[in-house]
Structure 1
Amino acid sequence: MRAEPSDGPRAAGSAASRKPVLEVSGLTVGFALPDGVKTVVHDLSFSLPHHGSLALVGESGSGKSVSMRAILGLLPGNARVQGSAVLTAEGSPGLDLLTAGEAKVRRVRGRQVGMVFQNAMEALNPSIPLERQLTEHLIWHGLANKSDARRRAVEALGDVGIPEPERRIRMYPFQLSGGMRQRAMIAMATIARPDVVIADEPTTALDVTVQKQILDLLVHLRDQGMAMVMITHDLGVARYVCDDAVVLRDGDVVERAPIAQLLRSPKEAYSRSLIDAALDVGMDVPEREVVAITDTAGTPSEALLQVRDLTKVFASRGGDVVAVDEVSLDLLPGRTLGVVGESGSGKSTLARLVLRLIEPTSGRVTFDGEDLGALAPKALRARRRGMQMVFQSPYGSLLPTHTVAENIAEPLRINKIGTPTERRDRAVDLLRLVELGPAYLDMYPRQLSGGQQQRVAIARALALKPKFLVGDEPTSALDASVQMQVLDLLRDLQSRLGFALLLITHNLAVVERLADDVIVMRRGQVVERARTADLFANPQHEYTRALLEAVLPVRGAVTDPEATDLPGVAWQRQ
């Protein structure tokens, strides 16, 4: 069972805690456009009690993030917001955040309401060390002096699982992995112990072990008095953390219910479709043809990609970091190799080394029979036509000043392939492949949801019909239904086009569904490699077993199936 909230200033018996900490009524959000106001959220209402946790779930573009940004006054100037959002902090009268004015809301943001954004690189300032970004938050609100603020900042980084926080706090965001940046973002949002935290996909970039650690931290903070609104497309995360759920579709509330009840017996067909689309480990895994990686003489088969003893050492202010440590692998044409491991284990660095986006400290990468390290820049550019990458951050990889059509056609333009009309036609075809359509051609990345941006990035990676594709968390920004579509799309395209895929991901269900073989990385080294089915059925390394045990399932038995007022997975928090 979940632990009772601790006694203290936010104890449930106080006068303020008898009122909801956040009461949202009739929230309607639109944007003024040349042809009129487009409404994207319609009459959203909910009550969030002290110690409570509410999940906003739904597909990309359903209005989840827009509604919460509206509450905090973080929408652009053409936004039109109606309704009320009353924040009742401990010992103070209610404040309607929608009518209070920017000065009052600014004093509330960070101190009484914290927000974890979906893309940490956008939220953190890349030119300022973490120490300043975390401490100025406390100092500006008058919560600590400089020395105490630094101590609390180091503790906050340790709380969210960042190793060696004394050293990491001196680093810049760009020196951290995507998962570590996200953990730093969570530390910044919770360091002041706000009354409410709005978490917008807070664990999207995190591996399963750190995800569980972060969610346990959020549950602990909630039980101490911090309420939470969790924006997520991961129903396993919602099930683990939240009491209740509101299902949104196209800005409308489709269903609201306790999360355990929703997952067990949804009333609406749309809610059922979200649950059915959610991936769980061991769920309907397509059979993959087993291909031998050695010939009859026992020597390796001809591989499209060969990596031998690849090593990368980064110099930093805190000392040298060995990101990749003597990694070797073979990847055959038409096959998928999954690479899994914790944030900071070297997965993304390995991908960039393979593509020669960064230079290795030592080792060799051979692609299609050529040693990439021996190629001159001009020859390397020509060879890269057959090698493409889908990056972890879709918005960061797309050109914000270019339309969708221009982004997708950019590889074709650079390589002088086709006329402008032919390139635009190719963009249309690729958009259809990734379940978008011609209507998106002249839109800009900022006008798309995170999931739509990622689909555009995948379409661009396929523009040159590559022999080899690197997917660095290619579905991490997608909701469950679109994720399944994209995974099936990649399988279908790989079957028809024959490209090899190096799949970097922390989602073990994605690896199980898509990969033929898996390598498990930890601290830059490969600790286990196996056929996918063998690894999931009988993991050999204790670290691999820990990864599998940390997976949060959407389906499965709960301690008390009738206890619909509980998160439904208290049995996992021992």
Structure 2
Amino acid sequence: MPGPELHLSAEKPLVAQAPLLSIRDLSVRFGGRDNSTSAVHSLSMDVLPGRSVALVGESGSGKTVSMRSLLRLLPEGAEVHGSAVLAGRELLTLSDEEIRQVRGRQVAMVFQNALSALNPTRTLKVQLTEHLRWHHVCSQREAHERAVEALRRVGIPEPERRINMYPFQLSGGMRQRATIAMAIVTEPSVLIADEPTTALDVTVQRQVLDVLRQLREDGLAIIMVTHDLGVARYLCDDVVVMRHGKVVETAPIEEFVSHPRAQYSRELTNSSPEIRIAPLAAETATPVAQPATPLLHAKGLQKTFHGRGGDVLAVAGVDIDVAPGETLAVVGESGSGKSTLARLAMGLIASDAGVVEFDGANVSEMRRDARRDFRRRTQMVFQNPFGSLLPHRSIADNIAEPLRVHGVGSKGRRYARALELMALVGLPTERAGDYPRQFSGGQQQRVAIARALALDPDLLICDEPTSALDVSIQAQVLDLLDELKSTLNLSMLFITHNLAVAQRMSDRIAVMRSGRIVESAGSDALFANPLHPYTRALISAVLPVRSAARPLHLAVGPDADGGEIREVAPGHLVRAHREEVE
């Protein structure tokens, strides 16, 4: 029985074409016959020349496993059945030597972690030219020219110079571009991109996707494996939605985002947060009133890290306030100083200069009892829930750990409190004796939140608490935090690089770049009228699921960070920059 056919997007009408890659009834199982696990069930899809297909779904849906099976990159013991025909050639029956010739030559793959995909001990020149020579694409003399041209095609500036660099000498975005260059240098017919932008900042993500779009326009067929519907819509013509190893829907991407047919597809699209830009000017935006005495007050915070590679100024003279019951979101790209700021506010690391006050008291001058009380009233939720939990302790013990450390209640009372908190965050209490490894990522984050609430804190500091989660799980965790905030009157310092999440969760937003806050305002006012060029660049780089993508503005010079910050409207602060001066 033939598998589901992909409808072609109305944006790129095509005459009838034979598929370049045709996958039919692809199934993958792991383990022996008596104890096997089915990871992919009867996947069928077509990929046409010059088209891009998004393979979307949550973690564990079978996206990556199905694509790796085509190139025989699965662990030993995997059983693969079905058919995958590339340009008239069946891939699944090729010998090991034959599939090695296909892998990287006709079908190339870009992996999520560029740093692990590249050899850290070899320059880009060695790695790209070696790739060409292994596949007998050209002579050694031509290989250098082809490698430089591949780097130029993916938008790496000064490719003649950078080709002699090692991977660690490149930024994250540059490394990801280099992995794409390595994939396309042999001019393959099909490119499989497995979550290539998940770990990248929004501006770098947009640039990498623009590279892939240009390659598609040049005739390359692309399969984009992703859980991000914004990425899928921006790059792809068609979409295949997977859940529990099965295809639940195939459609042109525009039809999918506007009218998803399957219930699971609707859940995915509805769970994807989007920026709301209200049609109002900054003068009419309602400013957020500031209390006379904020719960958390930080002024002039500065932190420099010293290392063999030199000094890094992580936080440079930052001022923040968080009012009782308020959520302040701090946004910015990796390396902007967000997480360092959170740790300074929490007292986990000492500042070089500046002061942190909690409920009117200077944290650095607190005596032992006062500091202990501060620790009880201020709790943190980290980005990686599994890494922050004790793997050898039960869920109940993990949640009750802060109570034990602070000597609160008897063992029985602590256990009862753990059960209360499990119910509060939506975890089944009958699983109190299970261990963190037995829970999903979203459930682990709920455990981490329950533990943070054990001591009834007044301030919750959340450091990228949903960035590692799938969109539907992310939505559940954000809903939970919203509910807890209103129920418990929590104040929150919310660290994130996701602007849509920041807008949803916060009353005010502070934008950080190079260790400084360049703009801060009420959430609606910031998106209605962003004044700093870096803020505009971040907003323009966000890829919406349902509305139209915005033009990308990246012209932000280093001089944009160094001016004085001033109030341009009630509650709206912006740092002066050259564009303003000129």
**TM bracket (short chain):** 0.7 to 0.9
Q: What is the rounded CA distance, in whole Å, between the counterparts of 1:334 and 1:442 in structure 2?
A: 33
Name the counterpart of 2:238. 244
The answer to whether the aligner puts 1:488 opposite 2:460 as a matched pair is no
Change (3 A) 1:197 1:263: same
**Match for residue 469 of structure 1 among 444, 460, 466:** 460
What are the equivalent positions in structure 2 for 1:250-261 lying under 5 Å apart? 250-261=244-255
The answer to whether the aligner puts 1:292 opposite 2:289 as a matched pair is yes
Q: 2:123·2:163 contact (CA, 8 Å) conserved in 1?
A: no
Q: 2:224·2:232 contact (CA, 8 Å) conserved in 1?
A: yes
**Match for residue 330 of structure 1 among 305, 312, 321:** 321
Q: Which stretch shows the higher mean deviation, 483-492 or 223-232?
A: 223-232
Q: What is the rounded CA distance, in whole Å, between the counterparts of 1:570 and 1:350 in structure 2?
A: 30
How high is the TM-score relative to the length of structure 2?
0.74
Question: SS at 1:43's partner residue?
Answer: strand
Q: What is the rounded CA distance, in whole Å, between the counterparts of 1:396 and 1:390 in structure 2?
A: 11
Offset from partner CA, 1:86-121 (integer Å, 9 cap, x none): 555xxxx8462x55577766676666422332xx4x
Q: What is the rounded CA distance, in whole Å, between the counterparts of 2:190 and 2:347 in structure 1?
A: 44
The answer to whether the aligner puts 1:265 opposite 2:259 as a matched pair is yes
Percent of residue pairs bearing the same amino acid type: 48
Paired amino acid for 1:325: A
How high is the TM-score relative to the length of structure 1?
0.75
Change (3 A) 1:509 1:80: same
Q: CA deviation at 1:259?
A: 0.4
Change (3 A) 1:235 1:407: same
What are the equivalent positions in structure 2 for 1:150-165 lying under 5 Å apart? 159=155
Q: 2:288·2:508 contact (CA, 8 Å) conserved in 1?
A: no
Q: CA deviation at 1:517?
A: 0.7
RMSD between aligned alpha carbons?
A: 4.8
**Match for residue 271 of structure 2 among 256, 271, 277:** 277
Name the counterpart of 2:568. none
Q: CA deviation at 1:374?
A: 4.9
What are the equivalent positions in structure 2 for 1:10-159 lying under 5 Å apart? 20-32=19-31, 36-73=35-72, 75-76=74-75, 79-87=78-86, 94=89, 96=91, 98=92, 100=94, 112-117=107-112, 120=113, 124=115, 132=122, 137-138=127-128, 141=131, 159=155
Paired amino acid for 2:28: V
The answer to whether the aligner puts 1:551 opposite 2:546 as a matched pair is no
What are the equivalent positions in structure 2 for 1:517-536 lying under 5 Å apart? 517-536=508-527
Q: What is the rounded CA distance, in whole Å, between the counterparts of 1:161 and 1:426 in structure 2?
A: 57
Change (3 A) 1:302 1:108: farther
What are the equivalent positions in structure 2 for 1:149-228 lying under 5 Å apart? 159=155, 181=172, 184-185=175-176, 187-193=178-184, 195-228=189-222
Q: What is the rounded CA distance, in whole Å, between the counterparts of 1:358 and 1:441 in structure 2?
A: 33
Q: CA deviation at 1:81?
A: 3.6
Offset from partner CA, 1:128-167 (integer Å, 9 cap, x none): 9956486675366355989969x969958994799xx979
Q: Which has the larger radius of gyration?
A: 2
Question: SS at 1:475's partner residue?
Answer: coil
The alignment covers a number of residue pairs equal to 527
Question: SS at 1:320's partner residue?
Answer: strand
Q: What is the rounded CA distance, in whole Å, between the counterparts of 1:22 and 1:402 in structure 2?
A: 48
Question: SS at 1:526's partner residue?
Answer: strand
Q: 1:168·1:318 contact (CA, 8 Å) conserved in 2?
A: no
Q: 2:131·2:182 contact (CA, 8 Å) conserved in 1?
A: no
Name the counterpart of 2:577. none
Q: What is the rounded CA distance, in whole Å, between the counterparts of 2:120 and 2:97 in structure 1?
A: 26
Question: SS at 2:329's partner residue?
Answer: strand
Offset from partner CA, 1:369-415 (integer Å, 9 cap, x none): 45444569998677434333333344554566666666555555655
Q: Which stretch shows the higher mean deviation, 487-496 or 213-222?
A: 213-222
Paired amino acid for 2:109: G
Offset from partner CA, 1:336-394 (integer Å, 9 cap, x none): 10112233322223223323444433322233445444569998677434333333344
Q: 1:494·1:500 contact (CA, 8 Å) conserved in 2?
A: yes
Gaps of 5+ in 1: 5-11, 295-300, 558-568
Q: Which stretch shows the higher mean deviation, 251-260 or 18-27?
A: 18-27
Q: Which stretch shows the higher mean deviation, 325-334 or 445-454?
A: 445-454
Q: What is the rounded CA distance, in whole Å, between the counterparts of 1:61 and 1:73 in structure 2?
A: 19
Q: What is the rounded CA distance, in whole Å, between the counterparts of 1:199 and 1:398 in structure 2?
A: 32
